[in-house]
């Protein structure tokens, strides 16, 4: 997903302590949350793969159109990943 999205817009970089929005980055552009424990929507099911994306249309680094395209890229990147799992 990250590779797909970064073709459209930038991926947020960690801060000086290696964190993104206060959470440690586990890989480029990725943080992990206890989705169920926090009551986040990606944790409502027991699906094998879950995710949430954050693309901000009010960012100085991305236009609203880029944000839409980045969300589409996240979906197509996820579908490409699933297709390769067979």
| pLDDT for residue 25 is more than 70 | yes
User: Quick one: pLDDT band at residue 51, thresholds 50, 70, 90?
Assistant: confident
Instruction: Say how far apart CA 75 and CA 56 lie, in whole Å.
Output: 16
Mean pLDDT of 59-85: 90
Q: What confidence tier does 57 reach under pLDDT thresholds 50, 70, 90?
A: low
Instruction: Please check whether residue 14 is in contact with residue 28, taking contact to mean a CB–CB distance below 8 angstroms.
Output: no
Confidence label for 30 from pLDDT (cuts 50, 70 and 90): very high
Contact indicator for 31, 84 with CB cutoff of 8 Å: no
Which residues, in sequence order, are CB contacts of 57 under 8 Å at separation 6+? Answer: 63, 64, 67
Backbone angles phi, psi at 33, to 5 degrees: -120, 155
């Amino acid at each position: 997903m990250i590779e797909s999205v970064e073709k459209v817009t930038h991926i947020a970089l960690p801060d000086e302590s290696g964190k993104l929005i206060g959470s440690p980055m586990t890989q480029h552009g990725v943080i992990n949350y206890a989705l169920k424990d926090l009551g986040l929507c990606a944790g409502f099911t027991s699906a094998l793969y879950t995710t949430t994306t954050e693309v901000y249309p009010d960012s100085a680094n991305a236009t609203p159109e880029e944000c839409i395209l980045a969300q589409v890229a996240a979906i197509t990147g996820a579908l490409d990943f699933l297709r390769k799992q067979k």
